[in-house]
Amino acid sequence: MPTSRSLKRRTLLGAAAALSTLALPAVAQTKTVLRISTPAVPDDWHAKMWTVFKDALEKSAPGEFDVQINLNGALFKQGTEPTAMARGNLELTSVSAFDIAKLVPEFSVFTAGYMVRDPAHQQKVFNGPIGAELFKTVADKMDITPLSTCYLGTRQVNLREARTVKTPADLKGIKLRMPGSKEWLFLGNALGATATPLAFGEVYLGLKTGTIDGQDNPLPSVRAAKFYEVTQQIVLTSHLVDSLFIAISNRSLHTLTPAQRQKVSAAAQAAAVYNNENRIKEESQLVDFFKKEGLKVTVPDVEAFRKSVQATYQASDYAKVWPKGLVERINATRS
């Protein structure tokens, strides 16, 4: 039989144990949670860059952040991330110019084919005054703040069955998968194809089964998502030097101390640099890889595509909301 003394001791020990288990989550709670969502597949540079982000923060602010990386669109569907961020359900993502253009119409200038010339031009534009002005509008209108600019790559047309493609007329009738928004569909149609919306995660099966005739993406994404396994041809249209912006929700940003903001921003820069360097390097090697995989890699009349796509955008409602002189300023930005 326990004595009253030993009972008291046990009770005290029990209380201490309970307190210590209570104390554990309290320590964990002091970490700032940063949830990340992206449709990127694990083997893609713009998925791996989030580990660089996480590691950089762990180094600069040990124990201060709980960075949670969610790939494959598992947490939020492609394109729904900005809404989730504005609602406080997500802290970070890499947002496309297309998703921004839905709420900041003038940003559609960067959804236009053949607008940005190359990765160096892209960095100059977004890291200079044009980027600063537009990112401020993004922060005001979307409640998210862009922190760094990632080169997603130069988009190329990738076809299920090989055919001769020299000009936009040769894509007539091709069901070209594009991500699901009117800005993306406009680009696909401007290429001469019949654009059809589909989420990134469904493209492989769509190509395999033939519900679509092709898709467009930068070569590193064609490799990482293995689209080359279910397609016969890549047409080097180079129609869009595509970007993604690492962005944080303003809700989250405002909870950070100035020192933490600086560290999060530096981590986002490091992630973008990692992505950009690796993507640019890999992009230059992939034509050979795809040829070895048995694909036809063909060069169309890029000037014919450029002329036609640019004319289509200039005549569109999109161009009507581009601030006066913006296209000229983009063109005049030298890398």
DSSP secondary structure letter of residue 266: H
Binding residues among 15-44 for ligand KDO as defined by CB under 6 A: 38-40, 44
Does 237 interact with ligand KDO (rule: CB under 6 A)?
A: no
User: Is 238 near ligand KDO (CB under 6 A)?
Assistant: no
Per-residue buried b or exposed e for 185-222, using 16+ beta carbons within 10 Å of the residue's own CB: bbbbbbbbbebbebebeebbebbeeeebbbbbbbbbbb
Closer CB to ligand KDO, residue 96 or residue 156?
Answer: 96
* 188 is a contact residue toward ligand KDO (CB under 6 A): no
Beta bridge partner(s), residue 154: 241
Closest contact distance (angstroms) between CB of 38 and ligand KDO is: 6
Among 225, 249, 198, CA closest to 86: 249
| Cα–Cα distance, 286 to 150 (Å, whole number) | 19
Residues 116/330, Cβ–Cβ less than 8 Å: yes
Candidate residues 32, 93, 96, 158; the one interacting with ligand KDO per rule CB under 6 A: 96
Site for ligand KDO contains 179 (CB under 6 A) = yes
The correct pick among 32, 217, 252, 312 for binding ligand KDO (CB under 6 A) is 217
Token pair listed for 164: 């001769």
Among 37, 78, 148, 196, interactor with ligand KDO by CB under 6 A: 78
The least distance separating ligand KDO from the CB of residue 82, rounded to whole angstroms, comes to 12
In the complex with ligand KDO, which residue's Cβ is closer, 153 or 300? 153
Contact set for ligand KDO, span 193-212 (CB under 6 A): 200
DSSP character at residue 226: T
CA distance 73 to 83: 14
149 lies in the site for ligand KDO, by CB under 6 A: no
Q: How far is the CB of 39 from ligand KDO (least distance, A)?
A: 4
Q: Does 231 bind ligand KDO (CB under 6 A)?
A: no
Helices of type H across 143-257: 182-190, 203-209, 219-224, 250-255
State the burial class of residue 126 (Cβ atoms within 10 Å of its Cβ: 0-12, 13-18, 19+): buried
Q: Looking at beta carbons only, is 96 or 249 nearer to ligand KDO?
A: 96
Counting Cβ atoms within 10 Å, is residue 57 exposed (0-12), middle (13-18) or buried (19+)? buried
Nearer to ligand KDO, 123 or 275 (CB): 275
Shortest distance in whole angstroms from residue 73 CB to ligand KDO: 8
C-alpha closest to that of 66 among 77, 76, 57, 75: 57
Q: Does 192 bind ligand KDO (CB under 6 A)?
A: no
Residue numbers at the binding site for ligand KDO (CB under 6 A): 38-40, 44, 46, 78, 96, 179, 200, 217, 221
